[in-house]
Structure 1
């Protein structure tokens, strides 16, 4: 893991990244006359990234477009700048690099360091010759007089949580079944000081979690249900925030088998919601936020084997409602509905569900946003959306009008698990709403959880989507409670 530190003084012997606004030139004192002249010439040619090689180190000057200081869009550009200079740093095999500026704010510098660190992620566990794949970078020193050590520690811990989420999503299904996922989450919680309970198949059966058990019927591996809790002694909220994450470790579509090409190839990532909520909880606990949070992860794979649940089956859910299964590939909502209903025992103030739920969400907003919907208070939803802008994990809000519930009506059960061909993302959220015991928000991250190609600081493979969003939302909630 790359360490992030702060300093008030530049070290001349260490490589340096200078982040500067496009209309500015860095201080001449950083350079020799020849270097500064070269820098001017390159800037006049509209070069954004300029590298000055020295005998023992190098300087990278990156110009960012003029924007309102510390606007969310500008901070995102600074993260992308960090990702861009990461390529140059890798070529130089630098282990330590400084980030500074004569024109940008400390927040912009920290965003640059964040992007640089996030872009350095590699998943090398199964490479037998992985040295070339590993990043050389071990430490980033952000140089600014007003930055404090605790700010760097917070960002470093949050990035570590994103790394862990990416690792989980990238793990292949033959190395991460439902039980293995549960134990991986328990290991995270132990490190962070959280309480964990793993329910096995017999316990899940005793609770009559019909949705989770139905989806598991086609699998050779048992299901799991993981309960994680961070309850600090000085918690500021009376009722907990509950996070629910979809833990589908692999999805074939079950008897409603997914067609190829491309539809099944990346389905190891169908547990990205579980990774998001668990790793957000990890970051919350590691940074000791004074807020009570519970994360629930129902987990199984969805296979067409054995006595797999079939279209036409009637499933009795944990809360007693009956569901007519009309598509075995709509399995995520079946396992999530049990977990959402189970959350009632904690009397939550708010429940946030995170899932790679529908291809419809991905088709609607593409790889640039998640789909959000829910019944939470307007102020709560707006706060979450602001956190999405802050972290650039943006969301597009869809409605949950009552009319969409008509599409879920069944003649022989309380409801069906799918509607028609239209409004698939909304209907999925509407289904989950039926089981929510409190104000809830559903985040469909199907389009942003897994990249087929690298983009900026988001690598090919698991992106760790929603970890930073959920962390900053919990942080804002904690601050709100403290200020009451």
Structure 2
């Protein structure tokens, strides 16, 4: 992350500054008025009286910006409006080629400057990509965001920097194409990140995967010329507050053609480098937790392969024996994510976890139900856990909607020749996928998050940008850190 977040005692004269003002402000408080000429102060106060939320004052050598908090009764909505103001601020700073900015919080919301900076920092993300033409490379001018005095503490600025770094790491992974990030390269990237921040990585190769009889992962990989991997990421700091680990499971399909049930293109196959966004979210979360020295024992499991129709590719009608011993009749090779997740969920039992959460770009049904605005949640964890996840989702604006796993949905995956099928009915596809996973998430509380909608965007969307969004990292970080005091 090239953008540095820092704490300073005061802003130097002649610097570009941002003043966050309370909702309903009509006259400038003294710290924001400073040594402004009368005409400049009058200009700003007229804009405030007109209820403008974002005001720019150009001093030519530097800028002053005034951002007014939204007047909403819901604090989560105020927080999200502040992040979006950070996105708007980025556009103004970029236009003026500002290198360093100083944030003042003149409101009663202690985290107002942090929220603004969060939106600003997430907006600055640019996937470095593979361009070689110097004219097409545009390095960002902004390098430093400074929190002035009580706008934030050094500790909270550092923590935010760690969270943002985790999100951007996940985005980088999602945005990388298959020929730059196959299953082995994904495993290596996650391991290198762990070496940097302090989590360990054990990469299981094809021989080990076969010895563990992970029938789902083996089957999906059959059509690929490249071997699968199964990465175990473990962050276990001294003094961890939890006796039993939290286990995060992420789908790592580095590219999904649909296998022999080939996806149409152009259209649904074009963006399938993003089908490992669940695995990326797990890696990004471990990265943020370790970087910020959060006292929790957390394990990440990322089964990885591409799904292709070549060679001895598995076919509709095949019956697979999974790691758990259950048999699965394959009805569609494009329902592959649940197969590799199933092996990982079964494997997770060995850790006697306090909770298992899986994340996956799993179904188009979740996208049709919720669009890009939320992820589908379902699971066997108790209501308090589901409520805490939902609360975390609202706090960071990675919202979740809880769907039922009623017994009747099990009929959707009944098979005549195996224990279950890997495909449900045309209706409630995201729920039948959840019912499939439920059969393997045995012996511990479990939550499934289908992030297919928000994980990858085909058009820019405020601070989430375009392409990989890193969905899941801020959500899981918020949820897991909220459990420390429980």
Q: Please give the range of the TM-score, normalised by the shorter of the 2 chains.
A: over 0.9
For 2:153, the equivalent position in structure 1 comes to 148
DSSP-derived class of the 1:137 partner: coil
One of 473, 480, 484 as aligned partner of 2:479? 473
Note the alpha carbon deviations across 1:174-206, whole angstroms, 9 max, x for none: 110001000001011111111110011111111
Q: Does 1:450 align with 2:456?
A: yes
| 1:196 counterpart SS class | strand
Task: Tell me the distance in 1 between the aligned counterparts of 2:301 and 2:279.
Answer: 8
In 1, the alpha carbon distance for the partners of 2:136 and 2:284 equals: 27
Check the 8 A contact 1:356/1:446 in 2, yes or no: yes
Query: Which stretch shows the higher mean deviation, 57-66 or 127-136?
Result: 127-136
C-alpha displacement of 1:428? 0.5
The residue number in structure 2 matching 1:27 is 29
Is the 1:284–1:474 contact (alpha carbons within 8 Å) kept by the matching residues of 2?
no
Aligned residue number for residue 10 of structure 1: 11
Distance 1:22 1:291 in 2: 37
**In the aligned structure 2, how far is the partner of 1:355 from the partner of 1:448?**
11
Deviation of 1:253 after TM superposition, in Å, equals: 0.5
Q: Could you give the per-residue CA deviations for residues 323-379 of structure 1, whole angstroms, max 9, x where no partner exists?
A: 000000000000000001001111111100000000000110111100000000110
Equivalent position to 1:441, from 433, 441, 447: 447
Task: Tell me which of 285, 307, 310 is aligned to 2:312.
Answer: 307
List runs of 5+ in structure 2 lacking aligned partners.
none
Corresponding residue of 1:339? 344
**2:370, 2:453 within 8 Å by CA — same for their partners in 1?**
yes
1:200-349 superposed matches below 5 A: 200-349=205-354
Shift of 1:132: 4.9
Q: Where in structure 1 are there 5+ consecutive unaligned residues?
A: none
| 1:115 lines up with 2:119 in the alignment | yes
TM-score, normalising length from structure 1? 0.96
1:45, CA displacement in angstroms?
4.5
Do 1:95 and 1:137's aligned partners in 2 also have CA atoms closer than 8 Å? yes
Aligned length: 479
**Is this contact kept in 2: 1:93–1:137, CA < 8 A?**
yes
- What is the CA–CA distance in structure 2 between the aligned matches of 1:66 and 1:8, rounded to whole Å? 29
After TM superposition, the runs of 4+ consecutive aligned structure 1 residues lying more than 6 A away are: none
Report the alpha carbon displacement of residue 275 of structure 1 after superposing the two structures with TM: 0.4
Asked if the contact 1:289–1:478 (Cα under 8 Å) also holds between the matched residues in 2, the reply is no
1:56–1:146 Cα change, 3 Å: closer
Which moved further from structure 2: 146-155 or 465-474? 146-155
The 5-angstrom pairing of residues 385-424 of structure 1 reads 385-424=390-429
Aligned partner of 1:89 in structure 2 is 93
Displacement of 1:131 in angstroms is: 6.6
Pick which of 261-270 and 326-335 moved more.
Answer: 261-270
2:384 equivalent among 353, 370, 379: 379
CA positional deviation for 1:26: 3.0
CA pair 36-131 structure 1, distance change in 2 beyond 3 A = farther
Matches within 5 A, 1:359-374: 359-374=364-379
